[in-house]
Each structure stands twice: as structure tokens, then as C-alpha cells.
Structure 1
Amino acid sequence: LAFLIWYLSITVLGWLAFPLAYRLLTALPDRGYTLARALGLLLWGYLFWMLASLGIAQNDIGGLMLALSIVLALSAWALAGWKRNPALVAESNEGSLQGWLHRHRRLIIGWETLFFLAFAFMAWVRACDPALVGTEKPMELAFISGILRSPTFPPRDPWLAGYAISYYYFGYVMAAMLAKVSGVTGAVAHNLMTALVFALNALGASGVVYNLLVIAREKAGRTSAANGRKACGASFWLSLLGPLFLLFVSNLEGTLEVLHRRGVFWHITPDGRAASFFWSWLDLKELSEPPMQPLGWLPQRYLWWWRASRVVMDYDLAGNWKEVIDEFPAFSFVLADLHPHVLVMPFALLAIGLALNLFLGGWRGHTTLAGFWMPLAGDGLACLALTLGGLSFLNTWDILPYAALTIGAFLLRRLEEEGWGWKRLEEAATFALPLLALSLLLYLPFYVGFSSQLGGLLPNLINPTRGAHLWIMFAPLLLPLMAYCFYLLRREKRQVRWGQAFGLACALLLLLWALSWLLAWVIAQYRPDVTQGWLQEQGLSTVSQLFLAANRRRLEACGGWLTLLLFLFLLFALILPARERQPEKAGEITSEKTPRSSAMAPSLPLLPASPAPFVLLLALVGGLLVLGVEFFYLRDVFGTRMNTVFKFYFQTWMLWSVAAAFVSAEMLTRLRGVGGWLYRLGWTSLLLMALVYPTLAFPSRTANFQFKNLHEAVRQARASDDWTVVRRVWTLDGAAHLDQFYPEVAAAIRWLQNAPDGILVEAVGGSYTDAYDRLSAYTGLPTVVGWITHEDQWRGNTFWERDQRFYDVRTLYETGSWEEALAILRKYHIRYVYIGPTERSAYRVNEVKFQRALTPVFQQGESVIYEVP
């Protein structure tokens, strides 16, 4: 029932928002239909959050309905505008909204089917493994539960009583909104939100790729009125490559797992040991060890699927391994952590769609904002600012690439219209500055209360990414993109400025290298103590030794940066201005496939308004992200580039997967002859290798989708005539495992979920441990202090108060003095004292003082809750 309520809720929201999308996204062939759900959820969430933050609305159903009524009013305004202004209909290529819906009804059925199947598939996957334990699921659940329990905004931090959440929590607000509407707990909402994000990604990726394909066909003259419906149908089926590349295509570690399990490249030495030069050279942790015996096909190692998110291997100069995270979407949905980098994905696709609409000529006009003139219509400014600002609130790391993509899309459009010139940079500045300022202003309440662990920029001097690891990570996306670049260069009818392109790529690489050492020199001058300590950790004594050792390592591990240099060289060769080739013979005419109008394009390689420049822009932004972490990373509590690589690689996968899906569809349909067949053979082989991981990982993660347990449950049900046991095999309740393994804890949670609001105290443990801080996570009641390491990540390790709280909680449980305990209870305004199995094992609990002074309001087994009057 909860699944159906969520499905119907988001579908209705999408239909309510579609008139607004239709009005805004006039340049997109799908008129924003595939992005309407994401747009509606973003707008609804923003209005609700802002109204609650300003005190205009409460965090309840009334506030949600007030925000939804504003969304409905905006859509009604957009719909009425079309009916009231025939000029808008006349200017539109598609005419009225009703006409568009009628002509594209088959497409709509296809997209609705895709969304439902994607939502149902991931809901089923989560139902097979619903328990919210391990990694950061307890943290995400705590945020959802805390927002559900907060009377207003900013929401309370459930793991630091008295403080608001200091994190980019917008995605959890959206999850809590849908939970409140559907009446489910946070534990159910967590799993349903994972499924919803997956489905929104599938729909959005399909829509963006569809729009690119239709525009490509139209501009190439391959679509006529007679075959338009057939072409749209073909574009729809090809657009399914979008969700395939985004959500299922994975890095090549899964294929390597199978090869390793088969014992490929291993041999037995004369002394009886298993050895392999290849696996030792590859250096992928567990894969460097001999395979399990007997050999087989399927990986059997515990949590074998985890290694795919750790293929980049960093070492300091002393040889110590430093963990690096390189997640990609398929891994994220196998793991099913509802982290901000996952929650932001549908809205990142929305940003890509908006940038494409801008590139194709949408929102022409100008706006004056606070005295600043900018070359963008007012509705476009509002839509872009709302989305870019929302990305920062959802996952602050995303603002950089998608702001760059938006500005780049505007610049490409102006280059097509007017050609290259310094004036274009001035226009880009007048476009970007007001847009970014408004993006920040719209979400100002978030920034006012936000503190962060980030401590500036640091140089990455000693850890270049090895070429082998980079190719394992990105080959399924990078190879199609490179092949497309070569394909475009072969078709190019102009003299490409090879020298300028290569020089620019080399200059960029050298500039980043020089800036990284300049930053290192500045740090050494201002913090010599820190520099000397770091040098000693590396086994060095002087900066000159570091310079030699670091650059020697960068030269030895040259495969990564040489790959990126080649890729950027190809992109620059296609993007930079070029001279027209002179006809070799008199009377030579332009090919039908390249009309004469394209010869006048001042800078771009294909037809005017072709999507190819935009696709190249997607590839370029992703390439710059990957190149950037070769030389710099953001300082955080981890002290390495682990988190920076994680965030930027994931965003690169988003950008490159959309681009790779489009270029694959284009080349599969355009290439003919032997070259076409060779491309299809290579592409299919690469795709099959990239699909090994999800094919094996999803069944491994879900115990083969619980079919064995389902069969056993059915057998028991038939014997006992009790079919409730069957329903427990597949469930979306992330707290269901508590009833099975910790029934008294589950009962305490249910009691607190219905109890009056108040601050809770429970055992404090380390991060990534679901046994600690469990009641606050499931109930949303704030506890004195929760996962301390995560509070450090959210607020910075200078937040000293968490240590005092840690010791106060221990003292509260262990002291025999009621006066001392009472002082702590009053200090933190504690209402509920919980003592359960975890508390009894973590502390030497002195319960007598509570028994004498307080009244137990809940008791079952070892679990008891005392209420402080």
C-alpha cells in the first residue's frame, strides 16, 4: 500500500507540474515531461522548506498542502497563460499542451511504463534487503526521522540535542514530506525514497537522451513529417540507453572479479605458491591474493561487491595505503545508502535538461535583477536559480559542475549565434554572476545556519591516479566518448587547429601542476610546523626531496594524466575555432550530410543547434573534474583526497553516462559497413563487461532476491495456515529486523514514536555502528550526542562540545550520585532515559538512582525507559 501511495503521489505531482515545465522548457522535444516529476518535487520541497523556515507554516500536513497549493497555482498560471496568449502557442513548435499530449500519447505511455517498472524494481530490491544497518543508513534514517519529528525548520539534529542539522539535508526533507503524506515511518520512507530516486533517474536520463537524439535527427534532416512518429519511437527505444548507462553500467571491477575467481593469469611456482605478475601489477587489494579454491565463476568472497567502489589505490611515499572512494551509481544502489550524492541525482539530471534547453535557444530575452542586466528571460532565471541553488542544498559538491555546465551551455549558444570574440566572455559574466547570486539568495536560510568540516584547498602532490585504475573505473564511458570524438574529427569539414588544441591541453595540465606546487610552497611558508610533520610521515626531511620524489612518482604513474591529456586534446580540437577547408577542385559542392549553412558556423564542428557541442561540453566538464583531483583536493577530517575523488568521480559518472548513452545511440545507428560492424562488436563486448557487476552484485546483496526464503516461508504457511510469515520475506520496513532480533528494542522504539516530544539519552558509540544511537535514529527524538565522528564531519573537529557530551552521558549512566545525574539531566533538558542491552554492555550502569528518583514509563526485558518530570 505504501508503494502505491508513493507512486500515485509522485505521479500526480508530476502531472501538476507538467504545465509549468511545458511553459518553461520550450526548446526540448519532450517539453520537460520526463523532468516534470523532479521539477515538481523540487518546487514543492523548496516552498514547504521556505515557508516552514520563515515560520509561515508548520512542519505538518497543513504546511505541505499550503506549499502544494502554490505549486498548483503556478501550474494553473502557466496553463492559463497558454490559453490566454495565442502568441505563445504560435511561437511553440508543438502548439498547445493538449495537442502535444495527444500527439505524444504513445511516448507518454512508454515513459510512464519505464517509471513504474524502475520504481517497482528498486522497491523489490530494497524489500529483499530492507534492514537499515551498516554503513551510513542509520545516519540517513536519523535525518528523516528527525525532520519528521521537528515542529518547524531548521530541523533538529537528532544526534546533537539543542542544535539544528548542519548538513545539506534538502533530500531528507523531500523524503520526510512524502512519508508524512503517506503516513509511513522513516524506516519505510528510507527504502521507498531509494526506489523513487532510482525511478526518477531512469525517467530523467531517458528524457535527456531522447531530447538529444530527436534534436540530432532534426538538425541532420533525418526526420520528416511522414516518418516523424516512427523516428520518435526509435528515439524512445534508443533513449533507454540513458538509464542503462547511468544506473546499470558499472566499472570493470566486476569482470576482473570473475577472471580472478577463474584463476586467470595465475600460475603455480616451483615452490608451490600461486603467483601472478598481472594481479600484483594491477594492485586491487583482495584481487592481489590467490583465488579461493576450488576455482569457479561466481565471486564468493564476503562483500566482494564492495571492492568496485575502491579501485583507485593511493599510497603515501612511505608506502602506507590511503583509502580512496570511487563510487558509481550502480554500486550506490546495490549498497542502497540514501546519501546526498544519491538524493541529488534526479535534480542533477534536471539541471542537465535545463542547460540543454538553454543551449537550444530557450529563455531568450533579458532580465534586470537589482540593477544588473542579464541576457536571460525572467522565467529562465528563476528556474535555473531554483535548480542550481537546490543542488547546493541537496549536495553542495554539485554546484560547481552544474553551474559550469549551465554557463558553458549559454556560452556555446552565443558562440553559435555570434561567433568567437571577447564579447562572449563579457556576456557569460553578465549571465553567470546574477544567476549564482540569486541561487545563493533563494536558499539563504540554509547557509545562515550551515557549518562545515571543509578547511580549504590542498595540493595533491604524491598521488596521481594510475592509468590502469582510471581505465578500470571509466572505460565503459570513456571509450565511447573517445570513439565519438574520432568519429566527429573524421567527418570534420574544416581544418582543425591541432597545434592550438594540443597546446591548450598541455598548458592546462602544466598550469594545474604549477599551481599545486605554488599552493604547497605557500603552505610551507605559513605553516612550517605542519609541513615538517607531514614530511616526516613520508620519510623525508626536506621539500626538495619531496619535489623529486613526487614528480618521479607522477612520471612513473603517467597513464592517468596522459589519458586525460589525450581526451582533453580531442575535445579542444572539436570545440576550438577552425578554418574552412578550401575545395580541392573547382565546382566541388558541400555534402548533403553537411549543408552549406554548417560551413558558416564560426566555431562548432557540426550543424548549428546540433546537440554535439552540448555533448562535448558534458564530456569536458566531467574531464576537468577528473583532472582537477589529480592536483588538488578539499581539506576535511579525513586528511586525504578520499572524499574529493568520491564526490567528483560520481558527478563525472553522471555527466559522462548521459553523454556516452547519446554517442552510443548515434554511432550505432550512423556507422555503416565494416567499420560499423566492428564498432558494434567492440561496443557490445564492452557493455557486457560493464554489466557483469550489477548482474552479480544485486543477487549477492539480496541473497538471490530471497527466493529460497520465500519458498521456505510458503511451505511453513501451508503447514500452519499462517500467511503472515510470507509477507515478512519481502518488506519495505527498514525496522522489521528489530522485531526479529531485538524485540524489546523494537517495542521501546514504538513506544517513543507515540510518546510526547522530548530529549532522549542513550548509549553513545562509534560511527557506522547501528547498535548505538538507535532509538534517536528510529524515533527522531534528539539524543544528547550521537555518532561523534559524523558530527565532526558536519561541523568540523573544532566543535569541542561533543567530547563533553560524550563524557556527560557516561557519567549519567555510571554515577551513583543522584545529584550529579540530576545536574546532567537538567543541563541537557533530558526527558527520557533509556537503558537497554547496548547501554548495559557499554557502561557500568548504576540504575538504582533512576529507580529511586524516576518513574519507568516503559519496560520489557532488559529495556526500560525512565521519564524525567
Structure 2
Amino acid sequence: MTPESQVLSVASWLLVVTFLQLALYPSLKKCLKQYAFPASFAASLLLFTILTWYCGLARFPVQFALVPFVLLFAYHLYRRNYTWVELKKEWRWELIFLIFFSLMLTVRFVNPTISYAEKFMDHAFLASIMRNPVVPPLDPWFAGGTMDVYYYLGYWIFGCLGIVSGVPSNVAFNLSLPTVLGVAAVTVYAIGTLLLNRFRWLPLLLFFIPNPSLFYQLITGSSISSALWNSTRTITNTINEYPLFSFTWGDLHAHVISIFNQVLLIFLLIYLYKFWDTLESRGRWLICGLAALSLGSMPLINTWDVLIYAPITVLVAVLIIWQGWKKGQGISSWSQLIAVPPLAIIIYLPFYQMLTTSTGGIAIVRTPSDPFQFLLVNGWFIAIFLLFLLKDIRGRPYLLLVAVPFVLAGYTAAAIAAIPLIYFLAKKEHSVPDLLAIFGLALLILVELFYLKDNMGDTYFRMNTVFKCYVPAWIILGISSLSMIGAWLSRPGRVPVMPARKSTALAILVVGLLFVVPFLVPLDLNYGSRTLDGLAYLDSSHPGDAGGAAYLRNLTGNEILVEAVGGDYTYYSRISSFTGIPAVLGEPFHEDMWRGDTTGWYSTRPADVRSIYENPDQTVALMKKYNATLLYVGDEEKETYNVSLPSTGIERVYSGQGTDIYRLAE
């Protein structure tokens, strides 16, 4: 793609995102007041998502989902709800979104390639949805299968944004994470504004601070790139990512996409907790409806999140009800809260009816985290909490005994988290940061004691549990600890108020430096850069596949592809990944994790693909077995198989740079 077309893609994408947000924003003003503008970023995305999802379920064009937004926008125009005076008041929120969007866009510009880690999978799902936006979406790595074995809604969100904005998947891939970060940042800033009178920007640091392990790696001699990676593999046989790594690494993966939705739910719960008594019934229903939409989207975006945030939502509701009970309020005043969990299930009920995957249940952790490694990951938060609790610890040292049972049972890391937890629980009055600390610390302890069974084997038995729970823990604990610091700094006499001109100059300097950093740090890992086209690197590194993929991406209609089957996390399965056209089999280990091998496909499909390439007498028959229409022969196929194709039954439709594509003759 030319630079000009990429600029147009960014503009078109932002135009759609901004239109969705502005269309919804006035509808939230009455109940969310000054927070309506920032909340409408994430809320409009979720509303757009559910509308497009039901369009896909009903086999309607997803563009129909824009109609309610157009009508809403027209209604607010007619009612003159968009005035220049009102919109000027919201410039800070828009600026926060654009700064973080642009910052992440710069990172993707430096490191755009769809080329390693989970990027092949992420783009495969995105491209499949954009080729054929139906529910459930087609599985690009398992011909005849669908994505009802995986949580795919995050890819659906950005695939549909790509469709309505006219942005191709190879660029939409690199606009998605900037959108996630921009929306998440504006919501976190809203949380900071809710909790702090000054230093409202401090919670935003949760996106920038690394864990202590990164500094430990650097001190012990690791290079910057290896230290960054090793800091997320600190706890033995697990993954402990944090936002700074996740965003710079650049996988458009479910655990990263979900961040914008997590912080929206946190914002909504805090708002309900603080202002429940002042809200009218209509406002309560609206905010609880948004909370239900957010919570209900979690199983489809990143299922692990709902296991964390559903209990938190219930606990916040219990706290609100308890406060109301003490004031003599009746059950009628809590009906909206009680409705949130069932509404969260009902809004995406067809998803659960189609879902075919399952988990192995809960088990007890027998080899918990090494306490030193645990602190290398969570040490900032533990240290901050202990500093703020120092007076309480001196006053009631006997509460330290809560750690003893954990230590005796061999769960020393859990004991470390239990110490600040018990002191927060023992407080007579709990601020919102206190409650967040309680939720986050309890999550860390639970992850030390229990894990969800999967098929990762005995060595990596708790890898996914730590991986998927530590990102929410980082967000919750980050908001909590940074808000505590902000409140402390805001006390009279701590930090003098800086003149507006100086604070503005300092902010511009810091933001400017942030934009320079991606060009100084080697983020591209020796792949292509300086573009937003995630497939541009193919022109130089794999010219045969560049032409072949470009040809296939221009095809429309229902196609099924035969390509070489190889190992996961390699260059194999690349054509289905680049095009979204389903292959007979993509990455086998991923598919085995998702759907299991109940029919014996794990051995049958690779053997059939080999026969298609090597046994010309079976090529046509086996292609028909899988309804395959296209046969791809590139460098990977020639290296993997002794390619011998029939002279009849297939016809060559593309040839270039050593790559041939054949179509099954009708």
C-alpha cells in the first residue's frame, strides 16, 4: 500500500470511531454528566459490536449496524445537543485519546509486521471475519470448522470496524491496538478524575511502568530486548505480561484487546459505587445496562476476564446494597443492580448456545511461585501498599500472623500478598483505591492457590492461569496504587501547584519524548518497519508469497485452501493467515487446544494434505473431501513435500516468483 492510502485508512478508521462515539455521547450526559464523553468511547465500541454481531448472526450485512448510530446522531443534531460551546469543554478527553492512539500507532509503524508470535493467528481471525462476517465466524485453520471453539469477539470488533471504514485487514491489524490503547487511556483518565482532585493522570502510568524484573534483568547483564522478554517469563513456567510489554510486543491477542473493556467496567462500577444514591432510576438502568454489556462481552472477548470481573461486579453490588440497607432503602432501589448478571448472560445468549469448547475444571497449585520471582513481578504494588499501611501495621502487628498459615503450607508468595490484604480489610472505612487493592490482592492469592486445568501439560500447568489473570491484576492494582500516590501528593503542602504554562510545556516535552522512544528502541526485531501495512515485509523476504497472497486476498466468495502443514509459531499456515481463506489445517497445536482430537483429525488431515501434494491420483479426490477449491504451491510446500500434481482436474490460475496457485476444475 502507498503511504497516501495508509493515511486515508487511518483517517477513515478514526472517522468511524469518532462518529460512533459522538452519536452515543449526548445520550449518556444526563446520568454520567462530565464523564459521558470519555465513557462513550468504549461504550460505543461495545454497542457497535453487539449490533454487528447480531447482524452476522442473522446473515445481514454488518454495515446495517451503523443505522441506529446514524438515527441517534440525527436525533441529537435535531435536538441541538451538539453545540460548539459544549464540545469545546471535552477537548481534554479527545486529546488523551488521540495522544495514546498516535503513540501506539507510532509503535506499530516501527513494528508493523504480521510475522511472529501470535500475530499469524490474530491476523488469520481478523482476515477471516472481514472476508465473511458471519456468526460463528469461519475458522481459517480448520476447513469446515468455525470459531465457536474460541473467544473471538475482539477480532470481530476490529474486523467490523475495518469493513465499515474500508480499511484492509493488513492495515486494520495495525490500527486495532492503537484504538485499544486510546480508548483504554481515556477511560483510565476518567477513573483518575473520579478518584483524584489533582494528579489525575497518574493512573495512566500503569501503561508505561515495567515490572521490577525488567530492571533486575538489566542489572544482571541482559540486553534491553532480552530483558523485556524475560521480564514476562519471570515466574517459572508461566507468562506474566504487563501492558507496556503487551502493547510494544504487538500481538493483537484477546488478553490485550480486552483491556479497554476491563477499564470501562472498572469505571462504571466505581461510578455506581460513588453516585448510586444521586442517580435517578433511568440513570441507574442506563449505567447498569452498560455494565451488563461490558460484563456480557467478556466471555466473547477474553473468557478469563469474566471469571475475575463477575465476582467483582457482584461484590460491588453487595457493597452498594449494604450501604442502602443501612440507610433503610428497600429492595426496589436495587433492582437495577440485581439485573446486571442475568442481563450480561442474556445479551449474548446465542454465543453460549453455540459454544463447543470446555475447560478441565479447577485444581490446587502444588508448585506455587517462588516468592522472589513473585516480588519481581508484583513488587511495586506490594511496596506501595505496605508504605501506605505502615501506620496500621505498627498499630496492629498481630495481623501479620495471617501470613503464617500460607507460609506453613508452602505458599510464601500468597503470604506476601495476604499481609497488605488483611490490613486493607481491617480498615473501618474503605476508599475506592482500598477496595481495588483488596480485589487485586485477592486475585493474586487465588492464582497462587488454584489454577484452571487445560491441555498445556504438567510443566506449564498454570501458565494460562497466571498469564490471563496477571494482566487484570496489573490493571486493578495499578489504578489502586497510583491513585493512592496521587491522593498523597494532592494533600496540602506536598507538591505546589505548577503554573498552567509550565505544566503545559512539561506535558508537551514528556509526550514528545514518548513519541521518540519507539524509534530509539529496536522494536522491529529485524523485520520490516516504517509502514502500517503488516504484510509489506513479504515483498522482500518472501516475494513469491507476496504475490500469491495478494492474488488470493482479491478473491471473493467461499474458498477453501490447501497449503503446507507445519509447526505452530512458524512461517507455516501463513497463506490462510494472510488471506483469511480457510485451510484444510493450519497450526495443529492451536486447533488441538481449541477443539480436541475426538475425530482423529490430528493425524488424518496432515496425512491427507501430504497426499494431495505427493500423490497425484488422490489430489482431486482429497481436495473434494474437504471442499477445497484452491491448491497453493510455494517455497514452504516445495520444501515440505515432494510435489507431484495431476495433469487434469486442476488448473493453474496464478504463477509468479516461484509460486503457483491451482483451482479445482469444475
1:640-666 CA-to-partner distances (Å, cap 9, x unmatched) read 011001111111011111112211111
CA RMSD of superposed structures (Å): 3.4
Q: Which of 378, 393, 396 is matched with 1:474 structurally?
A: 378
Separation of aligned partners in 1, 2:76 and 2:373: 49
Secondary structure of the 1:864 match is strand
1:225-264 CA-to-partner distances (Å, cap 9, x unmatched) read xxxxxxxxxx3xx22212222x111101221133222xxx
Query: Where does residue 49 of structure 2 map in the other structure?
Result: 45
Separation of aligned partners in 2, 1:806 and 1:33: 52
Residue 668 (str. 1) matches residue 489 (str. 2):
yes
**Structure 1 gap ranges (5+):** 84-95, 215-234, 262-286, 288-298, 314-322, 368-374, 491-495, 514-550, 579-603, 606-611, 675-692, 710-727
Query: Where does residue 309 of structure 1 map in the other structure?
Result: 232
1:160 deviates by 0.9
Secondary structure of the 2:359 match is coil
Query: Where does residue 305 of structure 2 map in the other structure?
Result: 398
Query: Where does residue 854 of structure 1 map in the other structure?
Result: 650
Query: Where does residue 349 of structure 1 map in the other structure?
Result: 263
Separation of aligned partners in 2, 1:118 and 1:365: 32
1:776 deviates by 1.1
Query: Where does residue 683 of structure 1 map in the other structure?
Result: none
Query: Where does residue 324 of structure 1 map in the other structure?
Result: 238
1:403 deviates by 1.9
Query: Where does residue 445 of structure 1 map in the other structure?
Result: 350
The answer to whether the 8 A contact 2:173-2:534 is kept is yes
Q: For the structure 1 residues 259 and 174, does the alpha-carbon distance in structure 2 shift closer, same or farther, using more than 3 Å as the test?
A: same
The answer to whether the 8 A contact 2:192-2:200 is kept is yes
Residue 807 (str. 1) matches residue 607 (str. 2):
yes
Q: For the structure 1 residues 201 and 138, does the alpha-carbon distance in structure 2 shift closer, same or farther, using more than 3 Å as the test?
A: same
Residue 12 (str. 1) matches residue 19 (str. 2):
yes
Query: Where does residue 652 of structure 1 map in the other structure?
Result: 473
Separation of aligned partners in 1, 2:193 and 2:392: 20
Query: Where does residue 619 of structure 1 map in the other structure?
Result: 437
Residue 772 (str. 1) matches residue 572 (str. 2):
yes
1:858 deviates by 0.2
1:790 deviates by 0.7
Separation of aligned partners in 1, 2:233 and 2:317: 36
1:682-702 CA-to-partner distances (Å, cap 9, x unmatched) read xxxxxxxxxxx9998984442
1:483 deviates by 3.0
Q: For the structure 1 residues 78 and 460, does the alpha-carbon distance in structure 2 shift closer, same or farther, using more than 3 Å as the test?
A: farther
Separation of aligned partners in 1, 2:261 and 2:616: 53
Separation of aligned partners in 2, 1:98 and 1:570: 48
1:539-578 CA-to-partner distances (Å, cap 9, x unmatched) read xxxxxxxxxxxx97x54x62x122112011111112xxx5
TM-score normalised per structure 1: 0.68
Q: For the structure 1 residues 746 and 98, does the alpha-carbon distance in structure 2 shift closer, same or farther, using more than 3 Å as the test?
A: closer
Please tell me the residue identity of whatever aligns with 1:813.
Y
Separation of aligned partners in 1, 2:597 and 2:390: 49
The answer to whether the 8 A contact 1:328-1:653 is kept is yes
1:693-728 CA-to-partner distances (Å, cap 9, x unmatched) read 999898444269x9xx9xxxxxxxxxxxxxxxxxx8
Separation of aligned partners in 1, 2:96 and 2:635: 46
Secondary structure of the 1:866 match is strand
Secondary structure of the 1:31 match is helix
Please tell me the residue identity of whatever aligns with 2:176.
M
Separation of aligned partners in 1, 2:529 and 2:287: 48
Separation of aligned partners in 2, 1:77 and 1:35: 20
1:38 deviates by 0.9
Secondary structure of the 1:833 match is strand
Q: Which of 154, 166, 169 is matched with 2:152 structurally?
A: 169
1:71 deviates by 3.3
Whichever of the two has the greater Rg, that structure is 1
Query: Where does residue 414 of structure 1 map in the other structure?
Result: 321
Q: For the structure 1 residues 110 and 380, does the alpha-carbon distance in structure 2 shift closer, same or farther, using more than 3 Å as the test?
A: closer
1:21 deviates by 2.6
Q: For the structure 1 residues 405 and 698, does the alpha-carbon distance in structure 2 shift closer, same or farther, using more than 3 Å as the test?
A: farther
Secondary structure of the 2:561 match is strand
Separation of aligned partners in 1, 2:81 and 2:390: 40
Please tell me the residue identity of whatever aligns with 1:856.
R
1:116 deviates by 1.3
The answer to whether the 8 A contact 1:16-1:72 is kept is yes
Query: Where does residue 493 of structure 1 map in the other structure?
Result: none
Separation of aligned partners in 2, 1:487 and 1:10: 47
Secondary structure of the 1:312 match is coil
Query: Where does residue 509 of structure 2 map in the other structure?
Result: none
Query: Where does residue 636 of structure 1 map in the other structure?
Result: 454
1:625 deviates by 1.2
Query: Where does residue 628 of structure 2 map in the other structure?
Result: 830
| Residue pairs, 1:180-195, within 5 angstroms | 180-195=163-178
The answer to whether the 8 A contact 1:334-1:701 is kept is no
Count of residues in correspondence between the two structures = 636
1:442 deviates by 1.0
1:668 deviates by 1.3
The answer to whether the 8 A contact 2:650-2:663 is kept is yes
1:773-816 CA-to-partner distances (Å, cap 9, x unmatched) read 11111111111111111112222354632432121111111114
Secondary structure of the 2:289 match is helix
Q: For the structure 1 residues 634 and 171, does the alpha-carbon distance in structure 2 shift closer, same or farther, using more than 3 Å as the test?
A: same
The answer to whether the 8 A contact 1:784-1:828 is kept is yes
The answer to whether the 8 A contact 1:21-1:36 is kept is yes
1:564-621 CA-to-partner distances (Å, cap 9, x unmatched) read 12011111112xxx5xxxxxxxxxxxxxxxxxxxxxxxxx35xxxxxx1x22221111
The answer to whether the 8 A contact 1:453-1:792 is kept is no
Q: Which of 110, 114, 134 is matched with 2:96 structurally?
A: 114
Q: For the structure 1 residues 187 and 409, does the alpha-carbon distance in structure 2 shift closer, same or farther, using more than 3 Å as the test?
A: same
1:35-82 CA-to-partner distances (Å, cap 9, x unmatched) read 211110110111111122023x12xxxx32x212213445677899xx
Query: Where does residue 36 of structure 1 map in the other structure?
Result: 40
1:466 deviates by 2.3
1:117 deviates by 1.7
Q: Which of 418, 422, 436 is matched with 1:565 structurally?
A: 418
1:673 deviates by 7.3
1:477 deviates by 2.6
Query: Where does residue 132 of structure 2 map in the other structure?
Result: 150
Query: Where does residue 192 of structure 2 map in the other structure?
Result: 209
1:5 deviates by 2.1
| Residue pairs, 1:605-754, within 5 angstroms | 605=430, 612=431, 614-639=432-457, 640-670=461-491, 699-702=520-523, 730-754=530-554
Secondary structure of the 2:234 match is coil
Query: Where does residue 511 of structure 2 map in the other structure?
Result: none
**Structure 2 gap ranges (5+):** 1-6, 496-513
Query: Where does residue 458 of structure 1 map in the other structure?
Result: 363
TM-score normalised per structure 2: 0.87
Residue 785 (str. 1) matches residue 599 (str. 2):
no
Q: For the structure 1 residues 48 and 810, does the alpha-carbon distance in structure 2 shift closer, same or farther, using more than 3 Å as the test?
A: same
The answer to whether the 8 A contact 1:202-1:242 is kept is no
Separation of aligned partners in 2, 1:431 and 1:834: 55
Please tell me the residue identity of whatever aligns with 2:439.
V
Separation of aligned partners in 2, 1:15 and 1:485: 43
1:64-101 CA-to-partner distances (Å, cap 9, x unmatched) read 2x212213445677899xx7xxxxxxxxxxxx9779x8
Separation of aligned partners in 1, 2:246 and 2:46: 22
Please tell me the residue identity of whatever aligns with 1:570.
Y
Secondary structure of the 2:182 match is helix
Please tell me the residue identity of whatever aligns with 1:768.
Y
Query: Where does residue 244 of structure 1 map in the other structure?
Result: 205
Query: Where does residue 583 of structure 1 map in the other structure?
Result: none
Separation of aligned partners in 1, 2:529 and 2:434: 47
1:349-377 CA-to-partner distances (Å, cap 9, x unmatched) read 1101110121123487899xxxxxxx994
Please tell me the residue identity of whatever aligns with 2:307.
L
1:434 deviates by 4.1
Separation of aligned partners in 1, 2:58 and 2:188: 35
Q: For the structure 1 residues 487 and 49, does the alpha-carbon distance in structure 2 shift closer, same or farther, using more than 3 Å as the test?
A: farther
